[in-house]
Structure 1
Amino acid sequence: MSDKLAANYGDDSPIAAFATVPGNSALTLIRCSGKGSIELVSSVFSSDKLKDAPGNTVVHGWIISAHEKIDEVVVSVFRAPKSYTGEDSLDISCHGGSAAGRAVMETLKSAAAPGCGAAKGSIVFRDALPGEFTFRAFMNGKLDLTRCESVMEMVSAKTETGRRHAAERLCGSLETEINEIKKMLVEVLAAAEIYLDYSEDEITSDSEEAAGRLPKQDIALCALERLKKLAASWQIERIYQEGVTVVIAGLPNSGKSSLFNAMLKEDRSIVAEIPGTTRDWIEAWVNIEGIPVRLVDTAGLRESSDSVEKIGVERSRKLLQEAEMVLYLIDGAQGVADEDRDFIKNGDRRLFVWSKADIAPICDQAREIGALGVSAKTGEGLAELYAAIVSAIQEKLRGEHGDGIVGAAIGTARQKNLVDAACSALEEAFAISEKEEPLDLIAPLLREAVNALGEITGEVSTADILEEMFGKFCVGK
């Protein structure tokens, strides 16, 4: 491990951090871990029971400083190795609010306990680095890297579907799949290396190895197919994690802001009968059947002499190019305008919405382009619109990835890149095998694929990779 990583993440010194954001809540949680952490907290605790408390127990008392009672707390005690980090750890439940938690934290950081290797023979808490608790869990064999990453997936999940998929990886579904594929490739690699360890006259002339062919091709092919399936899963998982951008567009006064508010179930955009009320775009997240959607309300698309509105329209047009999907509104009260027809010609990534359906029944021309009648005022057609949005997203995914993903799935871009690397190495090995090139050209590619899979779980890792990955975690995790 590099000196840089060791100075930051690689020690077992006692660390402390807020596991919840201090604020208006019933409780604030402070997490502590590391060598001597129980002794440190005991030195500022009102009862001697904490120091001798068994693991997986709870102790009630006060955090004290210079004989002053700071806060009444409940301390959950975890002793190595049966803890999240694999070290001695404590979770301190303080009263909610900013003041109580911060006072407890300041008291903890001023505590000192007998120790070795620290200044003046004492050990003290230091602030935990981003993801340092989970890093220690990885280093102490409590979690592999896929499950470490799923911790942050759980924290950042925007929908119940995203949470459920992250929980599956936290339970080890991806780790199991990667290890099974790696085991298959190790078997293929071992067969290749056995041949390389013997001279040609010791191998039968009709064997695959003697012919310069990839050994155990059926196993290698099965591994490749499973890797391709994993690689394809990322596009679907990315949708549930990062969401899709859906832009509401149309001519001025076509009902864009009203639809935006109706989908959010709150009044976020200003609604007025005066065209051009929306001068700039406004966005919010909405959950549509488990898919996080970044919904964007835009300025009405028209030529304008107003310099501010003109800027808003240009921004709207740019968003239309970037969006995964556009909900284009046709003003039901006005019918299909000439400007609408220009947008109808290019229906790519667009769902057409006939607005104000409560006062204007949908016309035949709108039906021909598949427009959906929707009333933001009454809610008519909203359920059908949500279904159409989900269907369009799923149709796009089916077009790219067949019938979808069943089973283990990758959850981060890092995992996707490494699965791609393993696929590429294995495909190149097959290509060389077809040309009956020497087996010593194939074996390194098999090793490359095995190492890429080992890097996914953390069996193969470097200090720079670990620092980059855990540095993206939030403090307290």
Structure 2
Amino acid sequence: MITNETIVALSTPPGAGAIGVIRLSGKDAIAIANSVFSGKDLLSQPTHTLHFGLIKDGDIVIDEVVVSLFVGPKSYTKENVVEISCHGSNYIIQQIINLLIKKGASAAKPGEFTLRAFLNGAMDLSQAEAVADLISSDSQAAHSVAMNQLRGGFSTELNVLREQLIHFASMIELELDFSEEDVEFANRDQLQELINKITIVLNKLIRSFELGNVIKEGINTVIAGRPNAGKSTLLNALLNEDRAIVSEIAGTTRDTIEEVLNINGINFRLIDTAGIREATDTIEAIGVEKTMLKISQSAVLVYLFDVLNLTANEIRDDIASLYKPGLAFIAVANKIDLSFSDRLKELNLPSEIKFIGISAKENQNVEELKELLYETVIGDKLSENHTMVTNIRHVEALRKTQESLDSVSQGLINPVTSDFLATDIKQALYYLGEITGKVTTDDLLDNIFSKFCIGK
């Protein structure tokens, strides 16, 4: 899949700006850049150096530029790489790219620079995917998770397990060569111990996907409750701005309102919803239907209730209709500045449901609610050295690895011949290899790298 073509693309975002960076990669990258550069002879310059000069098309000066040289293999792609920093005019950028193509370069496809880095051994496949996650990270936590994967935290853990499995696979393959002698080179008890050890790690990684995915995408947090509970006032208080219309008229919010709140580096996607009640018109009915849909899609549900006007039985009925096992649920009593009824002590909420009293209007305990949101979802689950899975492709491969190892384990409990054990171990190795790119297909690579931006 590696070609000898030299590729070129704009690596900075499209649009006018102070500077644009045009990147070339390939065997002839330096020679092509040198053919349009008026300054030092780039072919005789050392790697990792900067050079000021002109880009010229014949006698026509296109721009003053700074050229960065990275001589392979000491580059991002392990090929010769040239980066041309020019003025950020769309016209200038296009003129330079067109000139470089005329001199022999080809327009890069999405993700082709990182694809070449992977194919040339600069990084494995999970690290290459982390590059895309790093570019799209929009919170401290998402950045930390992507950086850990880019630096090989995930790959290292998987490669250790894979090497140990390969050892047993080779021993069992050796048994097949001596099948007539009926000998065992692979210790079955040690193999079972290894499978148990790997299963623990796989379970940990698979469980981490739930948290890793919400960190990557943001945590859907729905604010739900009856009309006039103060949902829009709470949204405004959490955001510290007047984002939603606040009115004493019941049913003011007819559609969902979505905003992002960053708490300790985690993005919570707050969703203010229409009040839950029997709708009085068609439009409100649509709003209530949307509310129930958003609740079903939420990772966290903030049930807000008016402590003044609801009885304990009404609150319990609401919670019973909204709560589902596994859903992070926070019950929030609003308007505690006016009254804090003793009947709340009679609620007997399930232990999985967390409770807090606030006044959204007076901004009382709103910061404490933010802390409770963070603790409910994240708690102490994040650490710099904690490996976390954020990619659905990875978690599916881990599950398939687990299924193959379960088959190996069953083959040890109910003894089967070495060839069946070898087949199941090979299958487990295949799925582990899919994650880091030890095993790849062109279709898989096309699917992954086509989602990258051009220029990366």
Q: Normalising to structure 1: TM-score of the pair?
A: 0.85
Per the alignment, residue 5 of structure 2 pairs with 13
Residue 170 of structure 1 pairs with residue 162 of structure 2: no
Counterpart AA for 2:332: V
Residue 107 of structure 1 pairs with residue 96 of structure 2: yes
Per the alignment, residue 130 of structure 1 pairs with 110
C-alpha contact 1:178 1:453 (8 A) present in aligned 2: yes
Residue 443 of structure 1 pairs with residue 422 of structure 2: yes
**Cα separation, partners in 2 of 1:185 and 1:393, compared to 1, 3 Å:** same
Per the alignment, residue 68 of structure 2 pairs with 76
**Cα separation, partners in 2 of 1:132 and 1:217, compared to 1, 3 Å:** same
CA distances 1:248-306 after superposition (whole Å, capped 9, x unpaired): 11222322112112222333222233332222112122222333222111112233333
CA distances 1:84-109 after superposition (whole Å, capped 9, x unpaired): 0111112222334xxx1442233222
**Cα separation, partners in 2 of 1:19 and 1:107, compared to 1, 3 Å:** closer
What is the rounded CA distance, in whole Å, between the counterparts of 2:283 and 2:45 in structure 1? 66
What is the rounded CA distance, in whole Å, between the counterparts of 1:405 and 1:28 in structure 2? 34
Cα distance, 1:165 vs structure 2: 1.7
C-alpha contact 2:176 2:418 (8 A) present in aligned 1: yes
Over aligned residue pairs, what C-alpha RMSD do you find?
2.8
Stretches of structure 2 that go unaligned for 5 or more consecutive residues are none
**What does 1:183-202 align with in structure 2 at a 5 Å threshold?**
183-201=163-181
CA distances 1:11-35 after superposition (whole Å, capped 9, x unpaired): 2322222222134654333222223
C-alpha contact 1:45 1:62 (8 A) present in aligned 2: yes
**What does 1:7-406 align with in structure 2 at a 5 Å threshold?**
10-23=2-15, 25-65=17-57, 67-96=59-88, 100-111=89-100, 123-126=104-107, 128-201=108-181, 203=183, 213=188, 216-332=191-307, 334-336=309-311, 340-346=315-321, 347-348=323-324, 349=327, 350-357=329-336, 359-367=337-345, 368=347, 369=349, 371-394=355-378
SS of the aligned residue for 1:277 comes to: coil
Counterpart AA for 1:182: R
Greater alpha carbon shift after TM alignment, 252-261 vs 270-279: 270-279
Greater alpha carbon shift after TM alignment, 426-435 vs 319-328: 319-328
Stretches of structure 1 that go unaligned for 5 or more consecutive residues are 1-5, 114-121
C-alpha contact 1:214 1:439 (8 A) present in aligned 2: no
C-alpha contact 1:243 1:291 (8 A) present in aligned 2: yes
SS of the aligned residue for 2:37 comes to: coil
Counterpart AA for 1:11: T
Residue 412 of structure 1 pairs with residue 401 of structure 2: no
Counterpart AA for 1:154: L
C-alpha contact 2:260 2:269 (8 A) present in aligned 1: yes
Cα distance, 1:247 vs structure 2: 0.7
What is the rounded CA distance, in whole Å, between the counterparts of 2:241 and 2:44 in structure 1? 53
What is the rounded CA distance, in whole Å, between the counterparts of 2:212 and 2:51 in structure 1? 41
Counterpart AA for 1:90: V
**Cα separation, partners in 2 of 1:52 and 1:277, compared to 1, 3 Å:** farther
Cα distance, 1:463 vs structure 2: 1.0
**Cα separation, partners in 2 of 1:425 and 1:341, compared to 1, 3 Å:** closer
What is the rounded CA distance, in whole Å, between the counterparts of 1:182 and 1:233 in structure 2? 20
Counterpart AA for 1:22: P
C-alpha contact 2:389 2:395 (8 A) present in aligned 1: yes
Q: Normalising to structure 2: TM-score of the pair?
A: 0.88
**Cα separation, partners in 2 of 1:304 and 1:437, compared to 1, 3 Å:** closer
C-alpha contact 1:422 1:450 (8 A) present in aligned 2: yes
**Cα separation, partners in 2 of 1:336 and 1:40, compared to 1, 3 Å:** farther
Residue 463 of structure 1 pairs with residue 429 of structure 2: no
Cα distance, 1:42 vs structure 2: 2.8
